[in-house]
Amino acid sequence: MKILFQCPKYLPDLGGIEISTSKIAKELIQRGHEVSVLCEKTSDSQKDFEIMEKVKVFRFLNNPLGKFFNFLNFQSLQISLKKYGKKFYKENKFDIIISRAFFFIKPTKQIIPKTPLMYIQPSVGYIAMQKSAENSPWIRKKISRYLKSLISYSMEKRALKNADRTLSRSKSMDQIIQKVFHSPKEKIGKFTQIANLKDFQPREKDAKLLEKLQIKNKKIVLTISRLSPDKNNLELIDIFKNTNPKNSVLLIVGGGSQENEIKEKIKKLKMKNKIIMVGEQKNTKIYYNLADIFVTTSKQEGFPNVFLEAMASGIPIIGFKENPPEITIPTNEIIQSKKIGFAVKDKKEFSKKINILLKNGKLRNQMKQKAIEEVKKYSSKKICDNLLLEINKIMPK
């Protein structure tokens, strides 16, 4: 088959969608399929067309309407896509299109309505935008983000209607697709995430890195995250403040718009010796191998890649228990009844579970062994098998 993935961005940009798409593309190519990617050109250094590991990558240029009209970015993307797509789809024919962002769907269906189109919903974006609007101290940003959330909801609802099939990432997202977006159950399938079992494995702690970070002989609670309001990392500082093991540190790997605000909060709470920030890192696997526990306080996630990377590295995980639509991260679905970590209902329980795991080495080791076994069901082969089954459901007979 000739398969086109539509992605907001692609390699060398790094993010959950980019990494996931590259993994599934590699598996599909090994099985004899031809894979292309259509994405936005995010820098002048990126080529309009190139072949990356046998994947044909086409990039279109978005023409935004200006910073004062940022809330209309999805509309500008659709206008740019429609203009680019008229020539692109005339010159390139595909058997199936797999869209990984809702704004691709309308212009695609307008140009090539008969080509089967599947939508893999990454997360419920409009809810995260609403929360971001609520938390913003700036009136203009608050209004802009709220308007963007309304536009996002309307456009995604239309996209779900136009897609031939939608793949959700979790049971909580299934509920939202049916109850909030009013999409029929028979049009919904499942696509979780591919675990990188080659790069992420249990390894000995890097003694030199521990020495460099001055956290030798410490129990390490790790989070790897973009430092932006939607990831809820300020709440993690409060949670860790209320843990009591003395010989422990919180290690934060990541960068973003909220980095300075987080640093200020750490300074204000006088926790500079307890919370270590190392910024954005390309090689994250060495940090997983330092950790005793992995945590995330993000509430709006489809199927977090960081959980699978932690599991593959043999680390127990803790996250909030899903409660859609406010909390969609599928922690409970992933941990399988407390086998490999904890799904918690609030900040107080979060601190309590961190304390339990930091103090109980035997329990950590039990969860480690179960995590290594459980993550195998997210291998590229198994996820690709499932994707091809979903594709066959909408292909012409």
pLDDT 10s digits, 106-155: 999 999 999 999 999 988 777 777 776 676 777 777 787 788 888 889 99
Give how far Cα 23 sits from Cα of 98, 175, 193, 261, Å: 14, 27, 10, 34
Where in the sequence of the chain do the CATH 3.40.50.2000 domains occur? 2-194+379-392, 207-378
Query: Is the pLDDT reported for residue 71 higher than 60?
Result: no
CATH 3.30.1130.10 fits 207-378, yes or no: no
- Annotate 210-238 with DSSP letters as a single string: HHHHT-TT-EEEEEE---SGGG-HHHHHH
| Average per-residue pLDDT for the chain | 92
Q: Cα–chain-centroid distance for residue 12?
A: 16
Q: Which residues contact 125 (CB under 8 A, 6 or more apart)?
A: 102, 152, 156, 300
Residue 248 three-state SS:
strand
Average pLDDT over residues 58-76: 75
Orientation of helix 305-312 relative to helix 361-374, angle to 10°: 110
Average pLDDT over residues 296-303: 92
Question: Distance between CA 299 and CA 87 in Å, rounded?
Answer: 40
Query: Is the pLDDT reported for residue 59 higher than 80?
Result: yes
Give how far Cα 57 sits from Cα of 4, 101, 120, Å: 10, 16, 19
The CATH number of the structural domain formed by 2-194+379-392 is 3.40.50.2000
Comparing 173 with 148, the larger pLDDT belongs to: 173
Query: Is the pLDDT reported for residue 207 higher than 80?
Result: yes
pLDDT at 66: 56
| Assigned token pair, 276 | 């270590």
Question: Distance between CA 139 and CA 153 in Å, rounded?
Answer: 21
Residue 302 three-state SS:
coil
Query: Is the pLDDT reported for residue 68 higher than 70?
Result: no
Adjacent-strand bridge partners of 223: 252
Per residue in 313-346, pLDDT tens? 999 999 999 998 889 999 999 998 778 999 999 9
Q: How confident is the model at residue 268 (pLDDT cuts 50, 70, 90)?
A: very high
